[in-house]
Amino acid sequence: MLGVRGSLICFMGSSSPEYAKLNIMHELRIMHDMFKIIEEAAKENNLKKVTAVSFMLGEACHIVPEFFNTAFDIVKENTIASDSKLTIEVIPIKMLCKICNFEFAIKEEEYACPKCRSLYLVLISGKELVIKNIEGE
Amino acid sequence: MEVKIMRNVLDKNQDKADENKKILRESNVIMLNLISSPGAGKTTILESLCNNMAARFNIGVIEGDAYTDRDAQRLAKFGFPVVQINTEGGCHLDSFSINKALGELPLEQLDIVVVENVGNLICPTSFDLGESYRVAILSTTEGDDKPAKYPMVLRDADIVVLNKTDLLEHTNFNLDNFKSDLRKLNPLIPLFEVSAIQGHGMEMLETWVSSIILGTK
């Protein structure tokens, strides 16, 4: 989980909800778009209430899952999902080597193929900000 | 009841970014997205580019700031069109605000649009604006550990500009460490070492900008 440690320190230093809101501005913005999708899906499927949301969070998005949960709890109030629980699955940064087809997770921020040392890599996971499913009744 | 969704939350931003790309392509205009921390020198670099390239190219500027139009005022003196976007505290620009700003620019008269994103090394990275090239700007006074701390901005950038090289001797910035960390992260990325205020190295950056503009003509 490189790249997110700095933010975690801010989070630990803040106790008031207002301060927390300022710190998670970015997450709140993403959450706003997420709730639009949740509300659309609930409407399409005639759900009166959403009880659970399952989410895939890519490590490359530099979002701390705890922040994301806080943002979710702030935004869910007075929505169809006000009593729901968010489950976050963190997806590691994985690359595919275009030369030898080896798939590997990034360690210590070194972007070279561990097998053949090639630099021609494509990202295959780690940028997810994906709503997997919702549960409701 | 379980409802399968499998949708990326940024899908709508991506769709609008693709639309922006199309608008730019149809008008034959290149767009740069400048990303840096606050104070790394985005506006100063942009001032220098506007000043030195005004005779050859028509530049449009989109200024993203959380508050105020101070940067837009700094750039207005060059006589190029400048659109100010205030995000009201928001930490990044998105493709919707850029779409609106592009609508306000006389694209048919322009060669290049430069977007100065909100000063921030994390949030703008996730939001494609539809830019042709992403430019990461770092500065020697920020320390040499930025590649290690903010890998994604450098992984996703097309070029890196290291600004304030004139201050190098007054800082503990280790250029070798910086380059080796950057190379691990993005081995092929071009690095421009400049001092925008003194003008050092800016002609190389101007050559790069000219070449990408001329490449589309």
> SS3 sequence, B120-138?
CCCHHHHCCCCCCEEEEEE
**Cα–Cα nearest to B6, from A61, A14, A131, A20:** A131
- Is-contact A61 A129, C-beta < 8 A? yes
Q: What's residue A20's pLDDT?
A: 52
Q: What's residue A15's pLDDT?
A: 38
Q: What average pLDDT does this structure show over B210-216?
A: 92
Taking CB atoms and an 8 Å limit, are B187 and A112 in contact across chains?
Answer: yes
Phi-psi region of B50 (alpha: psi -120 to 50; beta: other; left: phi over 0): alpha
Q: What average pLDDT does this structure show over A7-35?
A: 59
Distances A23 to A29, A35, A47, B83, B90 between C-alpha atoms, Å: 12, 20, 32, 28, 11
What's the rounded Cα separation, in Å, for the pair A95 and A136? 35
Q: Which tens digit of pLDDT belongs to each residue from B14-40? A: 999 999 999 999 999 999 999 999 999
pLDDT band at A7 (very low <50, low <70, confident <90, very high): very low
Of B22 and A23, the one with more pLDDT? B22
Q: Which tens digit of pLDDT belongs to each residue from B97-140? A: 999 999 999 999 999 999 999 998 888 888 999 999 999 999 99
What residues form DSSP beta bridges with B84?
Answer: B63
Q: What average pLDDT does this structure show over A107-112?
A: 84
Taking CB atoms and an 8 Å limit, are A45 and B3 in contact across chains?
Answer: yes
Q: Which of residues 173-192 of B touch A (CB under 8 A)?
A: 181, 184-188
Interface ipTM above 0.85 = no
Instruction: Report DSSP letters for A87-114, one per residue.
Output: EEEEEPPEEEETTT--EEE--TT--S-T
Helix, strand or coil for residue B210? Answer: helix
- Is-contact B83 B31, C-beta < 8 A? no
Taking CB atoms and an 8 Å limit, are A135 and B8 in contact across chains?
Answer: no
Tell me how close the Cα of A41 comes to any Cα of chain B, in angstroms: 8
Q: Which tens digit of pLDDT belongs to each residue from B171-184? A: 999 999 999 999 99
Q: Does B22 touch chain A (CB under 8 A)?
A: no
Taking CB atoms and an 8 Å limit, are A41 and B150 in contact across chains?
Answer: no
Q: What's residue B24's pLDDT?
A: 98
Q: What average pLDDT does this structure show over A77-84?
A: 94
Q: What's residue A21's pLDDT?
A: 55
**Statement: residue B73 has pLDDT above 50:** yes
Alpha helices in chain B (DSSP H): 11-26, 42-53, 70-76, 95-104, 123-126, 146-149, 151-156, 175-185, 202-216
Q: What's residue A18's pLDDT?
A: 52
**Statement: residue A13 has pLDDT above 90:** no
Q: Which tens digit of pLDDT belongs to each residue from B145-203? A: 998 888 889 999 999 999 999 999 999 999 999 999 999 999 889 999 999 999 999 99
Chain A contact set for B157 (CB, 8 A): none
Burial of A132: CB neighbours in 10 Å, binned 0-12, 13-18, 19+:
middle
Side chain identity at residue A63, one-letter code: I
Q: What's residue A4's pLDDT?
A: 30
Cα B182–Cα B59–Cα B139 angle in degrees, nearest 5: 25
pLDDT band at A22 (very low <50, low <70, confident <90, very high): low
Q: What's residue A2's pLDDT?
A: 31
